[in-house]
Amino acid sequence: METMVGRNARIVSVKGREVLDSRGRPTVEAEVAFEGATNTQSVVRAMVPSGKSTGGAEAKELRDADPGRYAGMGCLEAAKSIGVLGKAVVGMDPTDQKAIDAALLELDTSPQKDKSGIGANAVLAVSMACCRAGALVKGVPLCRHINDLAAKAIGEPVRMVMPVPCLNVINGGVHAGNLLAFQEFFLIPAGAESFGEALRIGAETYQVLKKVIQEEYGLRDTAVGDEGGFAPNIASPEEGMRLLMKAIERAGHTTKIFLGSDPAASEFFKDGTYDLGFKSAQVGGEKKSAAEMVELYEKICSDFPMVLLEDPFDEEDFASHAALTSKVGDRIEIVGDDLYCTNCSRVEKGLESKATNAMLLKVNQIGSVTESLDAWSLCRRNGWGVFVSHRSGETEDSFIADLSVGIGAGHIKSGAPCRSERLAKYNQLLRIEEELGIPYAGMKFRTPWDF
């Protein structure tokens, strides 16, 4: 609901700068100056994350490709692009997110409309910063402003909920140096009564898990990875699940914490088969057909208290996703990440084939707030869950915390309860819960609208 202040506000200037993400690699920050009705000028900023395990259909970042600087990963060109993009939105009302993003997207002249020329990282930085400015102009928390935008996107009021934190506490895949093919293993405290309790029992279990891993594998295996999870010297997903269950039981939270996993199967899909030994020096590895992978997932879901599987097959393997969803989708959320890349056209394909029952939402996969809301609303209209996510290369920007609440996503992943760039999101959610008294999604994380 716009105020007189909002209708008289305008963006005054936009500039970009190169900053570093949590891996010490460059990313970009947009700085937006704006005026309200009193002509008082304020400044907001937004930083963009970057993924390592990326989908082929993701919008494209702009990198400098100068081998003599940050090994070619510099973002000076993207920072410069922010300045160019800014000229398109100067004078616009920061509360009008849809118009702002439309103006930004008009500058995307790439043949595939993947933002490769102007940089998805540059577009998103401006889009997020303007969204933050819009909330300040309206005098409301960012999550409430996003909630207004979400209601406009779907054409009806959207109930805000506190999301279930899905804590990535064991790492494998391309995120770790062990032999584990599956990329992420989650603690999912859906049985808690509040977000605050969920984060507490998740953090308690994480600390117990550290002790369990140290007892069984030694101190060296308790070092943490990019997302704060441990990477013990294990090779099978079942061993990862066993460690989680041991920690949950020792912490005393067996009735409140469930399990989930992101195999990120595109990373070990080779020559038509799924090679669970792809990181091993052993010739041949442990290769499985798609049908055999379905059987493996069914067994894991039967043997452990699983509630979520993300990207269990290759990013183009819609048929295998559909086969698994038809078998376990009534009780397990099957989430498409690389499969969809927060892209409406790919979600439409997933809906037609009944490939999954949920989509992972990563704002930098698509590159603007409005396009992210479009993908969310498409899923919501079709009864799919939406799982908001960070990236492995993160920043201290907590935008996705407010996003997850504003769209009533029901669940969020931002890594383990460790490392400040991860905790920035979880701590912001603690503030939101305290200040606004929003209910916790809990066991309804898949259908948060169904309270």
Could you read off the pLDDT of 274-318 as tens digits, one per residue?
999 888 765 456 899 999 999 999 999 999 999 999 999 999 999
Q: What is the pLDDT of residues 51-82, one digit of tens each?
A: 876 778 899 999 999 999 999 999 999 999 99
* Domain 164-444 fold: TIM Barrel (3.20.20)
Extract the annotated binding site for Mg(2+): 262, 310, 337
Residues of the chain where predicted confidence (pLDDT) is lower than 50? 1-6, 283
Amino acid symbol at 87: K
**What is the phi/psi pair of residue 87, to 5°?**
-60, -25
Which residues are catalytically annotated? Answer: 227, 362
Helices (H), 260-317: 290-303
Largest CA distance in the chain: 70
Q: Which residue has the tokens 């994380």?
A: 445
pLDDT at site 63: 97
Burial environment of residue 354 by CB neighbours within 10 A (0 to 12, 13 to 18, 19 or more) = middle
**What's the topology of domain 4-140?**
Enolase-like; domain 1 (3.30.390)
> What is the structure's pLDDT at 282?
56
What was the pLDDT predicted at 159? 97
Helices in 226-332 by DSSP H: which ranges? Answer: 237-251, 290-303, 318-328
- Binding-site residues for substrate: 175, 184, 310, 337, 389-392, 413
Domain residue ranges in the chain: 4-140, 164-444
pLDDT at residue number 6: 45
Give the DSSP letter string of 360-387: EE-HHHH-SHHHHHHHHHHHHHTT-EEE
For residue 288, which of 263, 305, 307 has the smallest C-alpha distance? 263
Mapped onto helix, strand or coil, the DSSP state of residue 306 is strand
Q: How far apart are CA 387 and CA 376, in angstroms?
A: 9
